[in-house]
Amino acid sequence: MENLMFVYCSCKVIWTLLITILGYSSSLPVGDDSICAAEELAKYSIIFTGKWSQTAFPKQYPLYRPPAQWSSMLGVTHSSDYSMWKKNEYASNGVRDFAEKGEAWVLMKEIEEAGEKIQSVHGIFSAPAISSGTGQTSTELEVHSRHPLVSFVVRIVPSPDWFVGIDSLNLCGGDHWMEEVSVDLYPYDAGTDSGFTFSSPNFATIPQDTVTEITCSSPSHPANSFYYPKLKILPPIAQVTMVKLKKNQLGLPVSHLNLPAKSNEIIESISETPLDCEVSQWSSWGLCRGQCGKTGTKIRTRFVLLQPANDGTPCPDLDEETGCEPDNCI
Residue 19 β-bridge partners: none
- In the DSSP assignment, the letter for residue 244 is E
* Sign of the dihedral defined by the CA atoms of residues 204, 206, 209, 214, in that order: negative
Same fold across 42-244 and 278-324: no
Q: Residue 171: its pLDDT value, please?
A: 97
Write down the pTM of the prediction. 0.74
Q: Residue 268: its pLDDT value, please?
A: 44
Q: Residue 14: its pLDDT value, please?
A: 45
Q: Residue 34: its pLDDT value, please?
A: 57
Residue 27 has pLDDT above 50, yes or no: no
Sequence letter at residue 146 = R
Percent of the chain with pLDDT over 70: 82
CA angle 201, 223, 266 (to 5 degrees): 90
DSSP notation for 178-216: -SEEEEEE--EE-SSB---STTPPP-B-SSPPPPEE--S
What's the pLDDT band for 61 if we cut at 50, 70, 90? very high
Residue 29 has pLDDT above 80, yes or no: no
Residues contacting residue 58 through CB under 8 Å, at least 6 positions apart: 273, 275, 309, 310
Q: Compute the distance between CA of residue 268 and CA of residue 44 in angstroms, rounded to an integer.
A: 26
Lowest-pLDDT range of 156-160, 241-245, 311-315: 311-315
Superfamily for the 42-244 domain? F-spondin domain (2.60.40.2130)
Give the mean model confidence (pLDDT) for residues 152-167.
97
Lowest-pLDDT range of 1-10, 16-25, 197-206: 16-25
Q: Compute the distance between CA of residue 192 and CA of residue 200 in angstroms, rounded to an integer.
A: 13
Q: Residue 102: its pLDDT value, please?
A: 93
Q: Compute the distance between CA of residue 157 and CA of residue 72 in angstroms, rounded to an integer.
A: 10
Residue 15 has pLDDT above 60, yes or no: no
pLDDT in tens, 310-323: 777 788 888 888 98
Q: How many residues are there in the chain?
A: 330
End-to-end, the C-alpha distance of the chain in Å comes to 135
pLDDT in tens, 115-137: 887 789 999 999 999 999 999 99
Q: Compute the distance between CA of residue 250 and CA of residue 112 in angstroms, rounded to an integer.
A: 32
Pairing of strands 41-51, 253-254: unpaired
Residues contacting residue 18 through CB under 8 Å, at least 6 positions apart: none
Tell me the helix, strand and coil percentages in the chain, rounded to 5.
20, 30, 50
pLDDT in tens, 91-123: 999 999 999 999 999 999 999 998 887 789 999
Query: Which of 191, 189, 186, 181 minimizes the C-alpha distance to 165?
Result: 186
Percent of the chain with pLDDT over 90: 56
Residue 251 has pLDDT above 60, yes or no: no
Q: Residue 327: its pLDDT value, please?
A: 72
Residue 20 has pLDDT above 90, yes or no: no
**Do the beta carbons of residue 227 and residue 215 sit within 8 Å?**
no
- In the DSSP assignment, the letter for residue 131 is S
Per-domain boundaries in the chain: 42-244, 278-324
Residue bearing the bigger pLDDT, 150 or 114: 150
Give the mean model confidence (pLDDT) for residues 257-262.
42
Largest CA distance in the chain: 135
What's the pLDDT band for 261 if we cut at 50, 70, 90? very low
pLDDT in tens, 176-193: 999 999 999 999 999 999
Q: Please give the CATH architecture assigned to the domain spanning 278-324.
A: Single Sheet (2.20)
Q: Residue 204: its pLDDT value, please?
A: 92
What's the pLDDT band for 221 if we cut at 50, 70, 90? confident
**Do the beta carbons of residue 163 and residue 187 sit within 8 Å?**
yes
Q: Compute the distance between CA of residue 150 and CA of residue 125 in angstroms, rounded to an integer.
A: 10
